[in-house]
């Protein structure tokens, strides 16, 4: 594969770090972004010899635009931009505060919007490029209701991605816009979710999601492999776990029956 210049946000841990290391093995030029500078630099040094670390708060538009500029300054262009940064929450809908909801939208939707608005014009000017938004299966199917505002934010990201793709394809058919929807992934995500035992001062104690078979839980490296394949062969949407796609289809086919089953009716 031709060497590409790839920007990855949320690259200091989890899926972002795994994607960086996987793409580094393919010889791509990497520009990695995250707030945690120490962890980011550790991933950068392990991903590729010439990878560039750019400490970035993606909830600030100016930071995201600076990230784009640093990537172009370093490598002359950007070929692929992966909006991966995000954070979860462990709180049901009726317990959400304004701050909870606004925070989820800021981290999971507005940060990606800033990335889209920063890089897609660059792609359109070049007539080529690939935007990848990392969303979640939970934005499609309500099997983890304790994630509430996170799920809502990912549903909003799904819609923004689809609308952008339709708009861009009208005039720039060689610019790819992709949505990646992981299911359950073994990372630090749950520990760092707002109001989880690791991510907030008060543990959330209400009922949790239905048990998930161990076979349905993916590693960050498995998700990274799917994203590497997506870069090689672009597609509009991809579920990293085929079981998630099958469940989403069942949900859409009969929402009432699916949700009745969830409720034990």
Which residues are tagged catalytic? 150
* Residue linked to tokens 């058919």: 173
**Closest alpha carbon to 159 in 145, 175, 143, 179:** 179
Give every strand in the sheet of 237-239, ordered side by side: 52-55, 29-34, 5-9, 80-83, 129-134, 175-181, 237-239
**Residue 36, C-beta contacts closer than 8 angstroms, at least 6 positions apart:** 12, 13
Structure tokens at 149: 């505002």
Task: Please answer whether residues 160 and 262 qualify as being in contact, where contact means their C-beta atoms are separated by less than 8 angstroms.
Answer: no
Angle between helices 220-232 and 14-25 (to 10 degrees): 50
């Amino acid at each position: 594969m031709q060497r590409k210049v790839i920007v990855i946000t949320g690259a200091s841990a989890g899926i972002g770090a795994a994607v960086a290391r996987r793409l580094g093995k393919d010889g791509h030029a990497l520009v990695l972004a995250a707030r945690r500078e120490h962890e980011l630099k550790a991933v950068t040094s392990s991903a590729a010899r010439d990878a560039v670390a750019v400490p970035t708060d993606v909830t600030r538009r100016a930071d995201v635009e600076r990230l784009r500029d640093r990537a172009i300054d370093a490598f002359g262009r950007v070929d692929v931009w992966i909006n991966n940064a995000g954070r979860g929450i462990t709180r049901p809908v009726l317990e959400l505060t304004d701050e909870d909801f606004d925070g989820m939208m800021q981290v999971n939707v507005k940060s990606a919007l800033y990335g889209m608005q920063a890089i897609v014009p660059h792609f359109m000017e070049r007539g080529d490029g690939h935007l990848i938004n990392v969303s979640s299966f939970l934005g499609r199917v309500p099997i983890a209701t304790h994630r509430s505002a996170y799920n809502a934010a990912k549903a909003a990201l799904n819609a923004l991605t689809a609308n952008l793709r339709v708009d861009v394809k009208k005039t720039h058919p060689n610019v790819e816009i992709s949505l990646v929807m992981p299911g359950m992934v073994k990372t630090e995500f749950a520990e760092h979710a707002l109001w989880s035992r690791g991510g907030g001062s008060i543990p959330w104690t209400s009922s949790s999601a239905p048990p998930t078979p161990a076979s349905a839980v993916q590693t960050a490296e498995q998700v990274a492999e799917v994203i590497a394949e997506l870069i090689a062969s672009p597609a509009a949407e991809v579920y990293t776990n085929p079981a998630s796609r099958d469940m989403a289809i069942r949900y859409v086919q009969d929402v009432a029956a699916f949700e009745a089953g969830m409720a034990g009716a």
